[in-house]
């Protein structure tokens, strides 16, 4: 591991009103990092505003501190105005300013804003940044930040950070899982985290509707390029038939990805009739963050995403397939 950027540590130490924000469609790392850091900062006596553009999806509602999340931008404006000079914004797990979501243009005006992140493509926006692309998760970095600050990590914060690390490493399986990742996870277990309880919340706590939806989604499987590229898709109709929401599709992409021959798995999601959200997962050397970036998206080498407007599921499939063919045959 390396040490947290001193500018970030000093800013956190100095300022007592701290706004925490993360990327849209927040995953376990985004939410766990945000809620864990909020708890740590409040333990230091600071006033914290936890901001998300939308309420937390039901999958992560077990995380301590969820109830204190603010989704109203007016509340952020008031918080910033009242803080005056004694203000700091921290942007977590977010590689680019626009990934802050639909309020990003206003959010970036709340300065100073500093960034803590592990995305390879992070372009270093903000007034200071601590970016380490080899890290397993932002959650792991938040643990080190707390250590640098000499701050306590409560059992609540530990639960949040453990969830962040567990989800972003695919349960300690991905390439970025280091000895330090395990050391941090061990420290969190020492602070009261029960791995089986978190794993149960994350992976064994679904509805029957989700299983029925999974049947429908997996039935759409398409294989291309000698079984190296897999596509699955979900439509609004499928969600209606199974009484589920898009949140219920979390982790579906791991099934096609798990096929031995598959190098890239693609999940096409019809968010609205003319709005397709895409998740890309790769194994080995294929870098899907570059593919996502071509369509205005981003992410990691092995896990990325992008969005398409005004196109059908089939036309998005064709556009992605054209880009992926040379990658998987390289």
Q: How far is the CB of 298 from Mn ion (least distance, A)?
A: 12
| Residues that contact Mn ion, how many (by CB under 5 A) | 4
Q: Between 163 and 244, whose beta carbon lies closer to Mn ion?
A: 163
Q: Between 122 and 138, whose beta carbon lies closer to Mn ion?
A: 138
Establish whether the linkage from the previous residue to 280 is cis, with ω within 30° of 0. Answer: no
Both tokens of residue 318? 């064709």
DSSP 126: S
Residues 108-167 that bind Mn ion (CB under 5 A): 138
Q: How far is the CB of 23 from Mn ion (least distance, A)?
A: 9
Q: How far is the CB of 322 from Mn ion (least distance, A)?
A: 29
User: What is the widest separation between alpha-carbon atoms in the chain?
Assistant: 60
Q: Between 159 and 168, whose beta carbon lies closer to Mn ion?
A: 168
DSSP for 277-289 reads EEEEEE-TT--HH
List the beta bridge partners of residue 262.
none
Task: Please identify which residue in 8, 26, 29, 31 interacts with Mn ion, judged by CB under 5 A.
Answer: 29
Please report whether residue 5 would count as binding Mn ion according to CB under 5 A: no
Specify the length of the chain in residues.
330
Q: Between 138 and 277, whose beta carbon lies closer to Mn ion?
A: 138
Q: How far apart are CA 212 and CA 271, in angstroms?
A: 19
Q: How far is the CB of 118 from Mn ion (least distance, A)?
A: 6
Q: Between 123 and 190, whose beta carbon lies closer to Mn ion?
A: 123
Phi, psi of 179 (to 5 degrees): -60, -35
Q: How far is the CB of 36 from Mn ion (least distance, A)?
A: 13
Q: How far apart are CA 32 and CA 193, in angstroms?
A: 13
Q: Between 118 and 156, whose beta carbon lies closer to Mn ion?
A: 118
Q: How far is the CB of 223 from Mn ion (least distance, A)?
A: 29
Q: How far apart are CA 229 and CA 227, in angstroms?
A: 6
List the beta bridge partners of residue 308.
276
Please report whether residue 168 would count as binding Mn ion according to CB under 5 A: yes
DSSP for 42-107 reads HHTT-EEEEE-SSPPPGGGTTSTTGGGEE--HHHHHHHHHHHTTSEEEEEES-SSGGGG-TTHHHH
Q: How far is the CB of 139 from Mn ion (least distance, A)?
A: 8
Please report whether residue 93 would count as binding Mn ion according to CB under 5 A: yes
Q: Between 228 and 301, whose beta carbon lies closer to Mn ion?
A: 301
DSSP for 165-217 reads HHHHTTTTTSTT--HHHHHHHHHHHHTT--HHHHHHHHHS---HHHHHHHHHH
Residues 223-282 that bind Mn ion (CB under 5 A): none
Q: How far is the CB of 128 from Mn ion (least distance, A)?
A: 19
Using CB positions, name the residue nearest to Mn ion: 29
Q: Between 29 and 39, whose beta carbon lies closer to Mn ion?
A: 29
Contact residues: Mn ion, CB under 5 A: 29, 93, 138, 168
């Amino acid at each position: 591991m390396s040490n947290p950027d001193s500018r970030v540590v000093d800013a956190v130490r100095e300022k007592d009103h701290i706004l925490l924000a993360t990327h849209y469609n927040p995953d376990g790392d985004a939410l766990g990092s945000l809620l864990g850091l909020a708890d740590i900062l409040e333990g230091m006596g600071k006033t914290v505003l936890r901001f998300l553009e939308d309420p937390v999806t039901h999958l992560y509602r077990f995380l301590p501190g969820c109830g204190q999340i603010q989704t109203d931008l007016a509340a952020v404006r008031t918080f910033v105005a009242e803080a005056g000079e004694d203000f700091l914004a921290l942007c977590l797990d977010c590689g680019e300013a626009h990934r802050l979501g639909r309020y990003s243009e206003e959010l970036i005006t709340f300065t100073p804003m500093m960034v803590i992140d592990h995305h390879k493509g992070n372009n270093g926006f903000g007034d200071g940044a601590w970016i380490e692309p080899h890290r397993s998760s932002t959650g792991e970095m938040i643990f080190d930040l707390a250590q640098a600050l000499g701050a306590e990590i409560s059992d609540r914060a530990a639960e949040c950070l453990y969830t962040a690390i567990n989800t972003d490493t695919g349960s300690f399986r991905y390439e970025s899982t280091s000895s330090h990742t395990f050391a941090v996870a061990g420290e969190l277990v020492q602070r009261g985290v029960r791995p089986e309880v978190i794993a149960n919340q994350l992976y064994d706590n679904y509805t029957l509707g989700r299983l029925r939806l999974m049947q429908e989604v997996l039935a759409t499987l398409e294989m291309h390029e000698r079984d190296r590229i897999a596509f699955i898709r979900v439509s609004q109709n499928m969600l209606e038939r199974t009484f589920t929401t898009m949140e219920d599709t979390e982790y579906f992409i791991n099934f096609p990805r798990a096929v031995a021959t598959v190098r890239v798995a693609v999940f096409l999601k019809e968010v609205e009739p003319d709005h397709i959200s895409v998740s890309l997962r790769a194994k080995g050397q294929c870098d899907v963050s570059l593919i996502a970036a071509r369509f205005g998206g981003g992410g990691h080498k092995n896990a990325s995403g992008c969005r398409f407007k005004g196109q059908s599921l089939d036309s998005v499939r064709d556009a992605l397939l054209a880009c992926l063919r040379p990658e998987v045959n390289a």
